[in-house]
Structures are given as structure tokens and as C-alpha cells.
Structure 1
Amino acid sequence: MSWNWKTAYRSFYYATAPEPEDLTLDPAATAVLVIDIQNTYVTEPEEPAEAERWRPFLERMRETVIPRTVALTERARRRGIEVLFARIACLTEDGRDRSLSQKKPGFNNLLLPKAGHPSQMVPALTPKGDEIVVLKTTDSALTGTNLRLILHNLGIRTVIVAGIFTDQCVSSTVRSLADESFEVIVVEDCCAAATQALHDHELAVLNMIYAHVVRLSDLDVLL
């Protein structure tokens, strides 16, 4: 079955809902937000079994997410659309300013001082000129930063979201944006979760209520 963003990623709640209207974008009121595509997340684990476990994610990042997010940002810049970045980074070297979720043991136990190489955006997505970057120690890019105020001051009404992880920081940010009454568009092939199953499940949860889930090709007529 061919891809159709108007019918894809339908959860139980929206299985019978009518198709949404065609997307429209006002470049002056639109921003692209790239979330957490940082060096630490594209570095292959040293332990062989762990490297193999993460191989599908790293391949998706290398072959799909990063190049398509680069294309998204370049097209946005040509249209005069604001491009912003959010990255996980603590202000202190020992991470004492991190939120509780980033101090707990396990995958989310992140110590990423703001000046360190691991916390920087990947080279292909280095911000250009005076593009805005917010630092966060929370999943949501709104909760732990002044991004809400920045978007308001820029006159933004629609936010196009790319980044990782779909089921964590992307999801939290999308929900926060929706709760603040921004129109949100999630570009599916500019996002990734640790597994495809987690990615697909979270997009079905988000779609239609918190955001419209599209692919980059669906924005061809708009960007």
C-alpha cells in the first residue's frame, strides 16, 4: 500500500476520523526544530554485542534521518523559515544541574557538558549564522528552556519537528508544543527511535491529536 500521510499512523482513537485538510505553511510563521541529533547518539558502542543491537538505529540515522534532516533545513533556509536546534547538554561539568530523569541509572543517565564534543550537533547539522540553539536537561525542549518565549517572539505558529528519539524527546516536545497551541508537523523520515517498532508506535500515538505526521516528500509543494 502506497504512503499517504492523511491515512497513515492512525491509532484506535482516529481510525475512523475524516482525512485532514491539505497542509499549508506561512514561511514567516513557521519554524523547523531539530532535536538532539548529537554526536553522542551516532557513536557506535565499543562492546560488540551492544554495537550490533544498535546497528539498525545507527544505519537509519546515517542513511535516512541525517541526510533528510539536512535537506529539510536547507530547504527551510531557502524559504526564509527559521531553523532552530535543541540539544541535551548540562551547564556544569559534573552535571549537577541535570533533571532527575537524566541522573537515574540506565540509558537516560546522560552527562553531556555543553562544551564537550559528544553534546554537539553532528557536523552535517551544525547551526548556521545566528540560528538559535537551546540547551536542555529535560526531554521536552519547551519545559527546560525559554523556547516557548523565543517562538512567540519570532511570531511562530507552526513548528516542523525532526530529531531523536521519537518516543522520548521528540514526543515530549511535540506534546508540549501542542499544549501551547502550536500547529506541529512531525517529519517521520527525519526522526528515529531505538527500534522501528518504538518509532511507529509513538507516531501513531502522536498523530492527529498532537501533530500531523508526514514524510519529507509530503512537504515538496510547501518547501
Structure 2
Amino acid sequence: MISAKPFDFPYDGNLIPAATALIVIDLQEDFLSPTGYFARGGYDPSPLRAILPTVNRLIAACRAAGIRVIHTRQGYRGDLADMTPYEKWRRTRAGLAGTTVLLRSSPGFQIVPEIDVAADDIIVDKTCNSAFTYTDFEHVLRAQGITHLLFSGCTTDVCVHTTLREACDRNFQCLTISDACASGDQLAHEAALHMVTVENGIFGALSDSRSVIDGLARLKARQAR
């Protein structure tokens, strides 16, 4: 099991690597670069960049334990056909009209090169905050027999938390990794992490990367016996 709060993960002590996936949410150029969507909105992307080494350590530990890695990317079609009037209004309000920011046809849509993406990793593209909305994410999870999700990425309070909440409603067992998630708003980040643990773990459990890596190492050692 992985040491976590308000309970160790998973709750029943039955962590099966083949049924578990590390979810790496939206670590893209547009969110992490100094000229991307986040920076243009006045937010400092440095806290997001700071988690990259931690996420890579988790990726390595998960692969070593036989846990699948799934990345998500957020962005719209180049022709904006999938963008609602409200989203276009917000885009104009943010000064992004006429730019390629958050468009799938642009370099900013790509996952930052610092993140270790393997050829057999799964990538899910989305337009909404949740990876479940208008995507094949849930179908992929069910097809792979995945029931347990480890959450990392950005931003803690928006895309990570929205996907986490929907995963819980779909009866996936969820663990959020506190130092592998980040936001440009520290108060929002801390509040999002706190909300995981309320009501005896209404959105699953909360842990840190060291506890996760230690737990996976113990699991691997036990399997090797």
C-alpha cells in the first residue's frame, strides 16, 4: 500500500500494477512556457515547471512497477469548430484571438520535452477541463482494465481536480500526488489538495511522490520474491 491520508491507498490494500495508471495532465508548452496561455493570463508558470523532475521520477517508478502512463493534452481544433461562443468570448477577453495558443495545430499544444513520453504511453486529447468530457478516456481505461488512478500534472485546481472528481463518480480509486501537481495560484492549489481529504476522502486519498515511489518499490520487491 501507499502511505496517504485520510487512508492508505488503496483502501483495500489491493494495488495491482496492471489495473493502475499514472495520469499526467496537460504538461504542455502552452501551460508551462513563458509565452503560453498561462503566462499571457498573468500567471507565473514556474511552479508548473518545478514539478517536472518529480513527475519524471514518478513516471520511471511506475514503468518499473508495470503501471501504465497516460498523458492528456488540452487544445482546440485549428479551425475552432469545437470552440463554443463562450469559449471564443473568453479567448478574445484574454487577448488570444488570432493567436495559435491552445490550438492543436500549434507547437504549444505539445507536451514539454522535459517530460519522458514513451512510445507505448497513451495520450488523450481533450477540449475541456475534464479528460472524460467528449473523449475516449474512460473507454481506454475500461479497455485496459484500469481501476486505480494516480494523479499528477496541471493545474491542481482546474484540470487535475475536474478529472479527479469525475473519476471518483465513475468509481475509479484515486490518489492525488501533492508535489506532482501545480497551479499558478498557490491558494487554489492548497485548497484543491485539501478538498481531496475532506469527508473521509470524498475524492480519494492524498499522498506525495516519495511515499508513492517507496510504495511502488516495496510492491516490486514483493513481486520479485
TM-score w.r.t. the length of structure 2 is 0.80
Secondary structure at the counterpart of residue 33 of structure 1 = strand
Q: 1:214 aligns with which of 207, 212, 223?
A: 207
Identity of aligned residues (%): 28
Are 1:140 and 1:169, in contact at CA under 8 Å, matched by a contact in 2? yes
Deviation at 1:206, TM superposition (A): 2.5
Unaligned 5+ runs, structure 2: 217-225
RMSD: 2.5
- Distance across 1 between alignment mates of 2:108 and 2:121: 20
| Residue in structure 2 matched with residue 68 of structure 1 by the alignment | 54
Letter in 2 for 1:44: P
Query: Alpha-carbon deviations, 1:130-156, whole Å to 9, x = none?
Result: 211111001100112111011011111
In the TM superposition, what whole-angstrom CA distance separates every residue of 1:5-30 from its partner, at most 9, and x where no partner exists? 42xxxxxxxxxxxx524544211110
Q: Which moved more, 1:136-145 or 1:37-46?
A: 37-46
For 1:87-106, list aligned pairs within 5 A: 87-90=73-76, 92-99=77-84, 102-105=87-90, 106=93
The whole-number CA distance in structure 2 between the counterparts of 1:153 and 1:101 is: 34
How far is 1:99 from its partner?
4.9
**Contact 1:36 1:87 survives alignment (8 Å):** yes
Amino acid at match of 1:59: S
User: Do the aligned residues in 2 keep the contact of 1:89 with 1:114 (CA within 8 Å)?
Assistant: yes
Structure 1 contact 101–138 (Cα < 8 Å) conserved: no
| 1:160 match | 150
Determine if contact 1:99/1:137 at 8 Å carries over to the other structure.
Answer: no
Correspondences of 1:20-59 after superposition (within 5 Å): 20-21=7-8, 23=10, 24=13, 25-45=15-35, 54-55=43-44, 58-59=45-46
Cα distance in 2 between the residues matched to 1:127 and 1:107:
31
Q: Distance in 2 between matches of 1:107 and 1:169?
A: 19
* Paired amino acid for 2:43: W
State how 1:47-196 maps to structure 2 within 5 Å: 54-55=43-44, 58-63=45-50, 65-90=51-76, 92-99=77-84, 102-105=87-90, 106=93, 111-196=101-186
Runs of 4+ in 1 over 6 A off after TM superposition: none
Q: Structure 1 residues 54 and 111, CA, compared in 2 at 3 Å: closer, same or farther?
A: closer
Q: Please name the residue that 2:222 is paired with.
A: none
Gaps of 5+ in 1: 7-18
Change (3 A) 1:178 1:100: farther
- The alignment partner of 1:141 has SS state of coil
Distance 1:125 1:21, change over 3 A: closer
- For the 8 Å contact 2:168–2:203, the answer to whether it is kept is yes
Cα distance in 2 between the residues matched to 1:171 and 1:101: 22
Which letter maps to 1:221? D
Task: Call closer, same or farther: CA 1:144–1:108 in 2, change over 3 Å.
Answer: farther
